[in-house]
Amino acid sequence: MNIIEIKNLSRTYGDEVKTYALINASFSIQKGEFVAIMGPSGSGKSTLMHVLGLLDRATSGTYLFENRDVSTLNDNELAVLRNEEIGFVFQAFNLLPRTTVFKNVALPLIYARDKSEGNKRVRDILEKVNLSHRLGYLTNQISGGEKQRVAIARALINNPSVVFADEPTGNLDSKSGVQVIEILQKLNDEGHTIILVTHETETAECADRVINIVDGKIVSDKRVKSKKRVSANDLIK
């Protein structure tokens, strides 16, 4: 079953002088896939992620999310769909710095329809990312790797169908980066669809499939022949 299907999707900016950030992209992503989107800086990979993640609208083309044509949805409908079905993990973490780990993870519950057992859900997810011992800490009191795991926990709080991770290891040391990728792989094993944006070949090889984008165009879409599994137990000491 396709959870995402796009056809001839384009995104341009500007009126008199147009900048083409995404040009006629077409592909589908099945539920439960782990897909890496690769490309150099300025290639359009983050624009593609923002459009797929409903943070931005395409200029033209068709985008079906769980068989719903997103072009027919108004801003409020998009916000509801985004909050209930999509989780985001960003390179810069995007956490509230003077707020506890617990409250950062619980933040999306403000907009959730189902708030039942919210506190238990926060604790359970923090345990899943090995941060239950940090729930009372302020986020400016924890390490970069821990901040990214808080961001992953926050992305999971509403049990999304798709998790988008935009350069999630970009600000981390190698050990913390491996821990983050290991968590994403385990989430994929549990059935979450993972879409990872990266410029690192080694990171992309941890996915099932790699889509390469250059100058706004999809130039290749290939399955990884030998998917690399990472483990925190194998970290370089």
Residue 232: pLDDT over 80: no
- Distance CA(215)–CA(48), nearest Å, equals 12
The more confident residue out of 110 and 97 is 97
Tell me which of 116 and 203 has the higher pLDDT. Answer: 203
The answer to whether residue 164 is domain-embedded is yes
Residues 65-108 pLDDT 10s: 999 999 999 999 999 999 889 999 988 889 998 899 999 999 88
Residues 65, 3: Cα–Cα separation, whole Å: 6
Dist. CA 208–CA 225, nearest whole Å = 8
Q: What tokens does 165 get? A: 């991770």
- The answer to whether residue 111 scores a pLDDT higher than 60 is yes
According to DSSP, residue 138 is labeled: B
What integer pLDDT is reported at residue 116 of this predicted model?
A: 62
User: Each residue of 148-203: pLDDT tens digit?
Assistant: 999 999 999 988 999 999 999 888 888 899 999 999 999 999 999 999 999 889 89
In a domain, 14, yes or no: no
Contact 50, 56 (CB under 8 A): yes
Q: What is the pLDDT of residue 100?
A: 96
The dihedral sign for the CA sequence 69, 216, 21, 94: positive
Tell me the pLDDT band of 234, cut-offs 50, 70 and 90: low
Confidence of residue 119 (pLDDT cuts 50, 70, 90): confident
Report how far residue 59's alpha carbon sits from residue 9's, in angstroms, rounded to the nearest whole number: 8
Q: Strands across the sheet with 2-13, in order?
A: 19-30, 2-13, 60-65, 68-69
- Cα dihedral sign for 127, 129, 133, 134? negative
- 67 occurs within a structural domain: no
Whether residue 235 lies inside any domain: the answer is: no
Number of structural domains (the chain) is 1
Q: Is residue 52 in some structural domain? A: yes
Specify the pLDDT at position 237.
40
Task: Judge whether 98 lies within some domain.
Answer: yes
In a domain, 100, yes or no: yes
Strand order, beta sheet including 86-90: 86-90, 162-166, 193-198, 34-38, 209-214, 217-223
pLDDT tens-digit series, residues 209-224: 999 999 999 999 999 9
Mean pLDDT calculated for residue range 25-49: 95
Q: Which of 14, 3, 158, 8 is nearest to 83 (CA)?
A: 158
Range of the domain at 101: 32-56+83-223
pLDDT grade, residue 112 (50/70/90)?
low
The yes-or-no verdict on residue 233 having pLDDT over 80 is no
The CATH number of whichever domain residue 121 belongs to comes to 3.40.50.300
More confident residue, 16 or 114: 16
- Does a structural domain hold residue 9? no
Q: What pTM, to 2 d.p., does this model score?
A: 0.91
Q: Is 70 helix (H, G, I), strand (E, B) or coil?
A: helix
